[in-house]
């Protein structure tokens, strides 16, 4: 893969297996790397294991076997490693999951103060810069339920960025939004990609995948069916299954 802007592998996963208690195989022999600065988009039908894969990367789901190493830290039984990895890996959820009892500013401040041990003043300074970046600084004193879905999701992105993560995971970040708000969130994500953030995005936004992704992974039944550059992927998919999926969604 000729990806000149990307560096060494920051995420390495090897032979991941995960089966849910109900017997569904979420991940089957899943291996791959994500390079520093790379934007990887994962697509696939629902139930393919896309979200599960993301959630395994920061330890929200436990894997049955296999290895995950992020920025040199193995994600294993050790609680300490899991906390270390979570500091370096930001996550944005489909349902935003802002803390409803805190103001926008406090949402973004919390982890900086509790995890990075910054003073309130330092944290607030960083938070305001980030809120400016996602264009919502004027709502710093508002509570989440006073914001639109798009605004909430932009705050959620700022909240994740406040930890200065090395990797950002986006789990269907625009799927719960009204159509007219998808654009504002995608714009923030595109800017982030342009700044060189390493991103792994589960999304149904093919326009986004085409425009900013370095690599597209098509997943089904817990495993990778096909993987390639966005161009290769959309213009000339090799696998019959991929073609069928693309014909259904495009």
Partner 1 sequence: MHTSAGRSAVLKRLYRSPLADIFQFVILVLLVIWFFARSTENLGYDWQWGRIPPFLFSFDENGLTWGPLMQGLMVTFKISGISLVLAFTIGLTTALFRVSGSFVARAIAHVYLETSRNTPLLIQLFFIYFVVGPVIGLDRFTSAVLALSLFEGAYASEIFRAGIVSISRGQREAGYSLGLSTLDAYRFIIMPQAIRRVVPPLTSQAISLIKDSALVSTIAIYDLTMQAQTLIAETFLTFELWFTVGAMYLFVTTILSLLVNHLEKRFKVSA
Chain residues binding partner 1 by CB under 8 A are 58-60, 83, 86-87, 89-91, 93, 95, 97-101, 110-111, 114-115, 143, 145, 156, 159-160, 163
Helices (H), 134-177: 149-161
- 20 vs 99 by CB, closer to partner 1: 99
Given the complex with partner 1, which of 80 and 236 has the nearer CB atom? 80
Least distance to partner 1, CB of residue 107, Å: 9
Q: What H or E segment, with its residue span, contains residue 19?
A: strand 9-19
Q: Least distance in Å: CB of 84 to partner 1?
A: 8
CB of 163 to partner 1, least distance (A): 6
Does residue 120 contact residue 52 with C-beta atoms inside 8 Å?
A: no
Q: How many CA atoms lie within 13 A of 103 on its CB side?
A: 14
Report the nearest approach of partner 1 to the CB of residue 87 (Å).
4
Q: Counting every residue, how long is the chain?
A: 250
Minimal distance, residue 117 CB to partner 1, in Å: 11
Q: In sequence order, which residues have a C-beta less than 8 Å from that of residue 237 and are 6 or more positions away? A: 218, 226, 228, 243, 246
Please, which residue, 167 or 227, has the CB nearer to partner 1? 167
Query: Is 170 or 245 the residue whose CB approaches partner 1 more closely?
Result: 170
Q: Kindly state the smallest distance separating residue 1's Cβ from partner 1, in Å.
A: 29
CA distance 60 to 44: 21
Token pair listed for 3 = 């990806």
CA dihedral 123, 125, 131, 134 (to 10 degrees): -110
- For partner 1, give the closer residue by CB, 16 or 89: 89
Of 149, 142, 158, 172, residue with least CA distance to 43: 172
Q: How far is the CB of 135 from partner 1 (least distance, A)?
A: 21
* Between 25 and 97, CB nearer to partner 1: 97
How far apart CA 47 and CA 44 sit, in angstroms, is 8
**Residue 2 or 21 having the CB closest to partner 1:** 21
215-220 and 39-43 beta bridge pairing: parallel
């Amino acid at each position: 893969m000729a990806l000149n802007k990307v560096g060494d592998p920051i995420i390495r996963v090897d032979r991941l297996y995960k089966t849910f208690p109900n017997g569904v195989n979420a991940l089957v022999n899943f291996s791959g790397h994500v390079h520093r600065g790379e934007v990887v988009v994962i697509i696939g039908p629902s139930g393919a294991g896309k979200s599960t894969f993301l959630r395994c990367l920061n330890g929200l789901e436990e894997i049955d076997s296999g290895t995950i190493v992020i920025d040199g830290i193995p994600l294993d039984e050790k609680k300490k490693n899991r906390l270390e990895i979570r500091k370096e890996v930001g996550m944005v959820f489909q349902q935003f999951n802002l803390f409803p009892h805190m103001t926008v500013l406090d949402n973004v401040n919390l982890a900086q103060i509790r995890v990075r041990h910054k003073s309130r003043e330092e944290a607030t300074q960083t938070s305001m810069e980030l809120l400016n970046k996602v264009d919502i600084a004027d709502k710093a004193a508002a509570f989440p339920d006073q914001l639109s879905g798009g605004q909430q999701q932009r705050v959620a992105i700022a909240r994740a960025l406040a930890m200065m993560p090395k990797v950002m995971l986006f789990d269907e970040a625009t799927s719960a939004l009204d159509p007219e708000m998808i654009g504002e969130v995608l714009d923030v994500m595109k800017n982030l990609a342009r700044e060189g953030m390493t991103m792994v995005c589960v999304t149904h936004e093919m326009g986004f995948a085409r425009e900013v992704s370095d690599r597209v992974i098509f997943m089904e039944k817990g495993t990778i069916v096909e993987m390639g550059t966005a161009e290769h992927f959309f213009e000339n998919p090799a696998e019959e299954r991929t073609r069928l999926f693309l014909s259904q969604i495009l």
